[in-house]
Structure 1
Amino acid sequence: MNAATLSRDALIPRNPDGLGRGLALALGVHALLLIAIAFGVSWRSSNPAGVEAELWAAVPQIAAPKPVEPEPTPQPVKKPEPPPPPPKAETPKQDDAQIAIEKAKREEERKRKEEQLRREEELKRQKEEQQRKLAEAEKAKKEQAEQKRREAAEAAAAEKRRQENLQRMASLAGNGPQNSTGSAAQTAGPSASYAGRIKARILPNIVFSDSISGNPQATVEVKAGPDGTIIGRKLIKSSGVPAWDDAVLRAIDKTEVLPRDTDGRVPSSLEISFRPRD
């Protein structure tokens, strides 16, 4: 029961002994009522925190238990949705004619690049071929110069041997060389007719049937033992006709033995020249 609704008769007890006790209780209730009104006015003006007030009635009553507020249930956390994909840009539609033009341009560009690549390869091949020919020409030039040098050296050596042979043949004829220091009528050696006798022995053994222009000469160095046995022969000057040179060498091998000179001796080494028309 609300204390504000109690009647005056209810506040004054009928028992005279409890008059003081009831008065004190009434005063306390009124004081609590004034406090409650003051807090109500203050709550409306400043939104204060909650205030609990106890009300006293004439008959003590037990307050009801404070209701238990249910615990808040946790709300599930929502995952943020991914942003929507950007709208695709609409490609402008091209008509068939424009597509054909672009395709023709691409094809023309491809052919142009292929032609340029082919030309570059051809130029590279021509350059390599030119360098190869220059290298071969330089090599041939060096080989030709070396060949000329060898031929000149061989010609000089052959000329030297020819001059020595001429001097020796002149000494066989009774005339010594111009720089001779001897006092004899002639240099000791083969007689003047000995060379002809040797050639007369060898020429019948030459077998040669080829036709030759001119009358080339082949000079051979022949070495013999004391008894005239031929122990060696060497071509010291070629006639320029290999077939004639080989025929002369074969004839010397076939002769085997040289004739003795007028003094009964055989020179250990001598040079003999042979011509097809001797």
Structure 2
Amino acid sequence: MIRKNSAAPVRPPRERGTWRAFALALVMHVLLGFFLYHGIHWQNSTPAGAEAELWTAVPDTPMPRPVPPPPQPVAPAPPVPDEQADIALQEKKRQQQEAARQAQLAEQQRQKVQAQQEAEAKRQQQVAQQQAADLAAQKAAALKQKQQQQQADKLKQQQLAEQQKQDQLKQQAQAEAQKKADADKAAKAKAAQAQADAQAKKLDSERRARLAQMQGMAGGEGSSGEGLAKSGTGSGAGGNAASAGYAEKVQRRVRPNIVWAGDPQGLETVVAVRCSPTGTLLSATITRGSSNAQWDDAALRAVQRSDPMPLDTNGKTPASFTITLRPAG
């Protein structure tokens, strides 16, 4: 199995006995050359003739010297058969081819491993480039989102500032409108008060005229009364139509409506009222005020809150009468 990330290329396993085979083949070739050389030289050489020397025997020696035998010719080495040479050549050729095939396989294997390594390196480079591109895209998206968020926050702050400005302008407009309304209301109240005062004066003068006329006709004094109770209210009925107990009814009606928390000493206000026969309050005006305008307003509001006025014993309310009011002391 080939490992992908190996630094060195994978080589095929070595065959055992390769060098021994090469050495034996080399020895066989050397012997073959040696035998061929001597065999050819033996066939082409002329055999040398035998030489012999004759010696004359010395008379002093009684025994003759033995003659050495002639030298025997050296038998040449038998030539190596051609079949064995062919076998050796074929074996050498086969070994060379096998070595070439093994080298080719090793080169193919090396190229394959190198191609795999290059493909793996290229893939890793592409992965690294893709990761870098993704990281850059994420950074760009984050930066764009941050910029959009900042723009949204800025726009929101601008809208909030604009809204606050509009609210402030609206409040100012409302304050001015309220101030104008208060001024108009005060002017209207002042005008209404002036009109009521004028009408009260007119009614008072008419009442005085009627009383004077009635006194002149009856030859006596018209009945009028005022309750001066220290409970805070007083009532009087103008005209002969009012019964003796009507002033107490008016007192009970007006007393709960008085709201005053100031100093009660020396305050007295007279309010003239005009009513319909059913008790509906037609008008209420101050005919004699006190030294405190706030108490006069409180007394007038108490009379106005007492609408309708109570009915008399005859089932009707007197047309006009006065009410004298003092704070409860």
TM category, shorter: 0.3 to 0.5
TM-score, reference length from structure 2: 0.35
Structure (1 or 2) with the greater helix fraction: 2
